[in-house]
Amino acid sequence: MATKISQTLQALSRELRHEPTSKHVRALLNGVPVLDSRRAVVLWEPRRVVPCYAVPMDGVVGILSPAKPPAPSGVQPPVLHPGIPFSRHSTPGEPFDVSAGGQTAPGAAFRLEDPDLEGYVAFDPGAFDWLEEDDRVQSHPRDPFHRVDILHSSRHVKVTAGGVLLAESTTPVVLFETQLQERIYLPRSDVNWDALTPTDSITLSPYKGTASYWRLKDGPEADVAWSYQAPLMPATEIATMVCFYDNLVDVTEL
């Protein structure tokens, strides 16, 4: 019987998963090193979508001290997703505070009890500044099984909201990203900027870079479009191009 790979990967999400990397991985707490290793693994706790790094104890250069246990809530832990903090763990282990240079990141490390990862300590992606070799990492480690494909297209795409034309293009690019829906990016010159206003929203992607956002000038406060002004290397084709949320505005292909 044929196997659909995405279903198999989804089934594996309920397990503790790891993948070794040969990258030189470092983490800094306000400029002071807390780990330095060439034997890191990319780690996913059960039910987590976003990975973190775990390194053996000989790669930890900061000070680890037992963290205070979280106060019991009396409810079952939720299904984990990118918005759940690092401190909510779904596998056995011991949490630690991480200190370096007179500063402390509370609960930012977690020593794993799994026998295959004995001696490894996982670290909170959001608590530190990260380097892979000498390049900065944004948001969280890159998933080695995740890819971004960007293809030029001749689709005729029209974007409207409440009868107002927001954009129309016959030269978009289509971004295909593992386990995410395709996204259509339109040239800036094909966007009706009179209908949009910038917001203060910013999001980070380890694959695409830093995104800035716009909302409708005469509409709700919700962000409806975004752009990567200076995307990371795998996504340079979408530099300055604009993408719209198709659940908030009408995106049609003619």
Domain ranges of the chain: 16-137, 148-253
CATH superfamily, domain 16-137, is Domain of unknown function (DUF427) (2.170.150.40)
Q: pLDDT at position 84, please?
A: 75
Q: Is residue 80 predicted with pLDDT exceeding 50?
A: no
This prediction has a pTM of: 0.85
Per-residue tokens: 85: 């903090």
> What is the pLDDT averaged over residues 98-116?
97
Mean pLDDT of 119-143: 94
* Distance from C-alpha of 76 to C-alpha of 79, rounded to nearest angstrom: 9
DSSP states along 146-193: --EEEEE----EEEEETTEEEEEESS-EEEEETTS--EEEE-GGGB-G
Instruction: Report pLDDT for 79.
Output: 44
Report the pLDDT averaged over residues 208-220.
Answer: 93
* Token duo for residue 91: 């596998």
Segment (H or E) for 43: strand 41-44
Same fold for the pair 16-137 and 148-253: yes
Which amino acid makes up residue 223? Answer: D
- Predicted local distance difference test score (pLDDT) of residue 94: 96
Are the CB atoms for 172 and 157 separated by under 8 Å?
yes
Which contacts qualify for 74-82: CB closer than 8 Å, 24 or more apart?
79/47, 80/45, 80/46, 80/47, 80/48, 80/49, 81/48, 81/49, 82/49, 82/50
Q: What is the pLDDT of residue 82?
A: 54
Which fold is adopted by the domain 148-253?
Answer: 2.170.150
